[in-house]
Structure 1
């Protein structure tokens, strides 16, 4: 069985001085990439291509995530910020070109087609989500569900390639991992007021808050003190923690039904950050 070394291989495409000095990149999609690699590598038919497919998919995901970081406004006049914006656009385009090149070079035209169709679906889902956000017609539950779908689409494109044994399990396990990943990230990002707007917490408070509180959320610039007061009032961190606990237990139950002890062990290892976090409830709740 091949060892997992995709993040190291990807560095030859991401670790350029121009990018490192002048802009920042999103996090590498480690969890979903490792998950895809584990399933593909466990298949006798796909193990030889597991590294290539997972690497190409991770580069596409990184390209999409990089472009998502580009500020929409063209009014950036400060030279450093403008350069950072331009490099994000170029970096995203470059990662996309590497995905095409790697798969075309290997003669994997069908996989190019599958991932290209998945990119279209990701963009469609994003547009639908952004429209609902703009219209303020989104619940916290809708936000979580649609974000899971957006994060999962590229990796779901491999569902038909999975062996009959895992064809049904793959979508459920992938979505469950993506859901835990999103909730996990929301817990740690909640204190960053800059990322509050559009987060699960934002939509939850908008859904359940008073008229005055909703008015505060509609303001173009959020008052940090007021936002923290609302986060405390609605027990946001505590709710997210409980959600992570619930979904992690549901994920464990699904994983334990697989018929491969080796795959089960690998999936538990991938989910270890969630388990470690939940294993220290007293410290976490004190911080909450």
Structure 2
């Protein structure tokens, strides 16, 4: 069957439908905020697997299982390291930990049933790489600091893209591997930065928090690493003091220009159209958030 823009969207709808069935549990929904579906990541993974000649059924399975792991990691990311007092807060924290583990563990079950041992190893390797990147970010952010803002960004790329880079070895040409690696890393980073701006607040796992901590002096860093309720106010002040909004905008613009050039280099007409469509979605989202960000 001829692959088209519509058929790619139908595939995405099937993937999201199956993901929804597996993550929405009545008890979990009552206490845990279910994270957004990782749309951009799943679209990119599906296109990479298509380019690597994976059959549709296998692409769907890998997208569903990888999506479950991503959502499990996202649930854990939102857990705050603060003492909880109310029964509801304690229950929510406990269930968030269990929900994240539950989502992530399903990948093993699904791939094992399909006898895809290699797939289990790939995703496990991706989880390991993400945890290593998280430890790097935590150690540098709370230790001597990053050597440069470029080093910080590279580690963020590792953390955000590791799950999806595990499939690059399916490409036989080294130039292709490098091209897709950079494409996936930059597209996911761009999506991450834009989504973060839409949230209109700063959390400890946000890139903006890492930026604030990078530019802050020693005294300011000590003031925002504690777990007191007022830490958000202090971070917001530093966010404005060090002009993080404009630094973010400059970074986003730079990534956008690099991606435009990279997309124009794609020879495959179908892939080029689909990747440009994903890029345009992120672009539109970024434009819509700009007026809101100015008032933050």
TM range (shorter): 0.7 to 0.9
Partner of residue 115 from structure 1, selected from 107, 111, 123: 123
**Structure 1: 5+ residue stretches without partners:** none
Q: With the length of structure 2 as denominator, give the TM-score of the two structures.
A: 0.83
CA distance in structure 2 between the partners assigned to 1:166 and 1:250 by the alignment: 17
1:192 and 1:103 mapped to 2: Cα distance? 37
Residue 102 of structure 1 is matched in structure 2 by 110
Q: CA deviation digits over 1:245-283, x for unaligned, max 9?
A: 110111121122111111111111112233214556984
Aligned residue pairs total 284
RMSD: 2.8
| Unmatched segments (≥5 aa) in structure 2 | none
Is 2:109 the partner of 1:80?
no
For the 8 Å contact 2:35–2:71, the answer to whether it is kept is yes
Q: Does 1:244 align with 2:237?
A: no
Shift in alpha-carbon separation, 1:72–1:49, aligned structure 2, 3 A: same
Shift of 1:80: 0.8
Matched with 1:66 is: 75
**What aligned pairs does 1:26-37 form with structure 2 within 5 A after superposition?**
26-37=35-46
Residues 41-56 of structure 1 correspond to what in structure 2 (within 5 A)?
Answer: 41-56=50-65
Which residue pairs with 1:171 in the alignment? 181
CA distance in 2, matches of 1:223, 1:110: 44
1:277–1:91 distance in 2 versus 1, CA, 3 Å: closer
Q: What does residue 276 of structure 1 align with? A: 284
CA positional deviation for 1:159: 0.5
* 1:59 positional shift: 0.9
Structure 2 CA distance, aligned partners of 1:282 and 1:131?
Answer: 32
Encode CA deviations 1:43-100: one digit per residue, 9 max, x unaligned: 4344441111111111111122222333446x53421112112221222222223211
More deviation, 63-72/172-181: 63-72
1:156 to 137, 143, 165: 165
Matches of 2:48 and 2:210, distance apart in 1: 34
- Structure 2 counterparts to residues 114-153 of structure 1, below 5 A: 114-135=122-143, 137-138=145-146, 140-153=149-162
Pair 1:20–1:48, CA change in 2 (3 A): closer
